[in-house]
Structure 1
Amino acid sequence: MNYFSSDFKLGILGGGQLGKMMLTDTRKFDIQTYVLDPSDEAPCKIGSNKFFKGDLMDFDTVYNFGKQVDVLTFEIELVNIPALEKLEAEGIKVYPSPKTLNLIQNKGTQKDFYAQHNIPTAEYKRFDNLDALKEAVANGAFSFPFIWKSTEGGYDGNGVKVIRSAESFNGMPNVQCIAEVMIPFKNELAVIVARNPSGEIKTYPVVEMEFHPEANQVEYVICPARIDDAVANKARAIALKVSEHFNHVGLLAVEMFQTEDDQILVNEVAPRPHNSGHYSIEASYTSQFEQHIRAILDLPLGNTDSKVAGIMVNLVGAEGFSGNVVYENIEKIIGMDGVTPHIYGKKQTRPFRKMGHVTIVNEDIAEARRIAAEVKNTIRVIA
């Protein structure tokens, strides 16, 4: 099939920043792109050939949108799976497949999948609701402290909480959840795996993630991770094993813990471009967004090596500010060598909302990290 400068149509479910960055590459290749998103102000609206407003969880909306395209992908997991299954049965190519998405969309099902396939992960138990978890704790079946995760709907640190005492339960939703044993770890790592329908597969270098202690959001992504080669090789091997069992097409971001004794435990996965791969736009031979397009269209995969060390800084709304966004001191960071800001196009900010990111590239990873801290302390996302 001729994808370039043709009648071919690629559909993207979700019009957020991941889709917007994906559209940079569809426009580069002149691939016709349709986008569906519930918001009229979605970042993708300005970059797609056609934009449709609609509910991603509504069967008819997703099905009718999908019938207009040749290949369908997504930038968010919270989409209507039965609609995707019907589209796939009728000949529309859906990547990653509804089967893959169905295993990932519910965090409890995802954890069960790891257990079934002997993929190392933290010990956990599933609960139908918060009341059942409280009862298990009261009976001594699960002890403080532990990690609570809602099985559905969580994103960007939402739906995850450290439970240190019974008081931590106050105000929490009474929903299906999992409780995980807290793991002492050295580092949080991630590996992005790319796979196309022909079976070609490549991994990006292991990255290291530094998280905000309160918001549970990534503040810095560091590539390459500052770890021993043996640990990096183990992380890539486990990511490949996860990819093989999911049998996905497109990208699969595998988030992992490096324990104190250098074991690798899988935390969770995302079947799409991911925050941990944003550095690749400036630092890699092939960005994760171009790679996702190559993979789902069954084109040859690009070189995943880094040209230079890269660090990403997330730009999130400052605490205490909500309203029309202002990027304070952005001119100062633009003047720094090797610094590239990416603004997502969201007009309204609120505390910890992802509004953009900044990439820092440098031959020296230590110098890149120093500049990243300077960037973080200079720019503010306020209203």
Structure 2
Amino acid sequence: MTTLQTPGPTLGVVGGGQLGRMLAEAAAPLGVEVIVLDPTPDCPAAPVARDQIVADFDDEAGVRELAARADVLTFEIELADQDTLERVSESSGTPVHPKPSTLETIHDKLVQKRELEQAGVPVPPFREVEDGDDVRAAIDDYGGPVMLKARTGGYDGRGNVPVESKADAEAALESVAGPAMVESFVDFEREISVIAAKGDGEIAVFPIGENVHEDEILRETIVPAGSSDAVRERAHDVAADVLEVMDGRGVYGIELFETTDGEVLLNEIAPRPHNSGHWTIEGARSSQFEQHVRAVLGWPLAATDLRSATVSVNLLGDVADPQEARLHGVDRILETPGAHLHWYGKRQTRPLRKMGHVTLSGRDGESTAELLETARELESAVTFTTDSDP
């Protein structure tokens, strides 16, 4: 039986970026307090969390302080160190969810793909590569182009490099700068994702979203996706199989390819709330962030039904060089019925840095096409460039 009191349970979060900020916003109505650990003083989560510990993600002393002040530990960034979390959890008795073992699997994309393939999860053809000859051999076997991926350190599209021809192999490996793998390039109909929560003996899956990427960065998510009922059902089945492999409670962002012949293949997994699930804040009966809080605490999960057709667009830095974060033209968003602005509180804008997002929820039977057109207009109406009128 879950009992509330004041003060309530405390959730310790490794990472204090926008995901930590939105976790703290979702935790507050549940009576849950959040403390974040992040190396950036006054990080984006700091204004809404109870407190911040300023320390690197792998700073063992900092993580021990976090564990001493929390009932449960979690993380909102893959840069969290699994070995540190494991040691601190064992010595302090403070549980970590998802489990550090899952983070270890996720950290290495090659290990991740091998484990999932062994579990029967459908994945594109892949292989380890060590040099240009390996990449060229993959192009011979898979056909070009192929996708070269950094095995470690990459997230949100970082470390993913398309290799168009054999002549590009060495340059691509140099840009990845570390251990790498190659995947066959998937001829997909659309990119889709499932936000799934794994609780204490239960799972809850949100409706699938259709994602639009540019330069390997997520730009838009449309819900419901334009997939057939059969593909949606298959995507949910694949997500359930993925959760069987993952160890520990929490929300997982599961990115998938829907191929031109209706197959569903796994792309990547994030063991945390995901950019493609931001739409759930306004578009679903519960948000991915509320679900993550509930899940890691071992509380019952909430309903995931779609409230209405919903579109989310990212607000990315449109500047040439880093500068003070100032978003111009916000009134256009604020004046639009059904539009919801989320500002992440980052102090500096950088090229293509995620600074916020806008969610547009359907009204009076609006279609996703209509919502997407309006959302794109709103995104184009704002800018971070300094020569604009405030």
Shorter-normalised TM range: over 0.9
Q: Is contact 2:194-2:255 (8 Å) kept?
A: yes
Structure 1 residue 2, shift from structure 2 partner: 4.6
- What are structure 1's unaligned runs of at least 5 residues? none
Task: Check if 1:207 corresponds to 2:209.
Answer: yes
Q: How does 1:261-276 map to 2 (within 5 A)?
A: 261-276=261-276
Query: TM-score by structure 1 length?
Result: 0.94
Give deviations 1:33-81, integer Å, cap 9, x for gaps: 2110010131011112121100102333323432332100111111121
Distance in 1 (alpha carbons) for counterparts of 2:17 and 2:314? 15
The runs of at least 4 consecutive aligned structure 1 residues that moved more than 6 Å come to none
Q: Structure 1: which amino acid aligns with 2:299? A: L
Query: TM-score by structure 2 length?
Result: 0.92
- The aligned counterpart of 1:360 is 360
Give deviations 1:268-314, integer Å, cap 9, x for gaps: 11111111110111111101111111111111111100111111000
Task: Check if 1:377 corresponds to 2:380.
Answer: yes
Task: Check if 1:248 corresponds to 2:248.
Answer: yes
Distance in 2 (alpha carbons) for counterparts of 1:279 and 1:106? 28
- The aligned counterpart of 2:120 is 118
Distance in 1 (alpha carbons) for counterparts of 2:145 and 2:102? 32
Task: Check if 1:233 corresponds to 2:236.
Answer: no
Distance in 2 (alpha carbons) for counterparts of 1:108 and 1:340? 38
Distance in 2 (alpha carbons) for counterparts of 1:79 and 1:380? 32
How many matched pairs?
375
Task: Check if 1:192 corresponds to 2:195.
Answer: yes
Give deviations 1:147-187, integer Å, cap 9, x for gaps: 01101111222111101132364351431011111110000
Task: Check if 1:24 corresponds to 2:25.
Answer: yes
Distance in 2 (alpha carbons) for counterparts of 1:80 and 1:3? 31
Give deviations 1:242-274, integer Å, cap 9, x for gaps: 112224311011100000101000001111111
- The aligned counterpart of 2:346 is 346
- The aligned counterpart of 1:136 is 134
- The aligned counterpart of 1:74 is 75
Q: Is contact 1:2-1:8 (8 Å) kept?
A: no
Structure 1 residue 367, shift from structure 2 partner: 1.8
Identity between Structure 1 and Structure 2 (%): 35
Bigger mean CA offset, 79-88 vs 57-66? 57-66
Give the 3-state SS of the residue equivalent to 1:93 in structure 2.
coil
- The aligned counterpart of 1:181 is 184
Q: Structure 2: which amino acid aligns with 1:205? A: P
Cα RMSD of the aligned pairs, angstroms, is: 1.7
Give the 3-state SS of the residue equivalent to 2:384 in structure 1.
strand
Q: Is contact 1:126-1:177 (8 Å) kept?
A: yes
Q: Structure 2: which amino acid aligns with 1:162? A: P
Q: How does 1:12-51 map to 2 (within 5 A)?
A: 12-51=13-52
Give the 3-state SS of the residue equivalent to 2:315 in structure 1.
strand
Distance in 2 (alpha carbons) for counterparts of 1:261 and 1:188? 14
Q: Is contact 1:255-1:267 (8 Å) kept?
A: yes
Distance in 2 (alpha carbons) for counterparts of 1:29 and 1:89? 28
Give deviations 1:182-212, integer Å, cap 9, x for gaps: 1100000000111112x11110001100111
Q: Structure 1: which amino acid aligns with 2:94? A: I
Distance in 2 (alpha carbons) for counterparts of 1:242 and 1:191? 11
- The aligned counterpart of 2:162 is 162
Structure 1 residue 337, shift from structure 2 partner: 1.5
Task: Check if 1:10 corresponds to 2:8.
Answer: no
Structure 1 residue 226, shift from structure 2 partner: 1.1
Q: Is contact 1:163-1:169 (8 Å) kept?
A: no
Q: Structure 2: which amino acid aligns with 1:15? A: G
Distance in 1 (alpha carbons) for counterparts of 2:343 and 2:358? 9
Q: How does 1:91-110 map to 2 (within 5 A)?
A: 91-110=93-112
Distance 1:351 1:290, change over 3 A: same
- What are structure 2's unaligned runs of at least 5 residues? none
- The aligned counterpart of 1:307 is 307
Bigger mean CA offset, 35-44 vs 166-175? 166-175
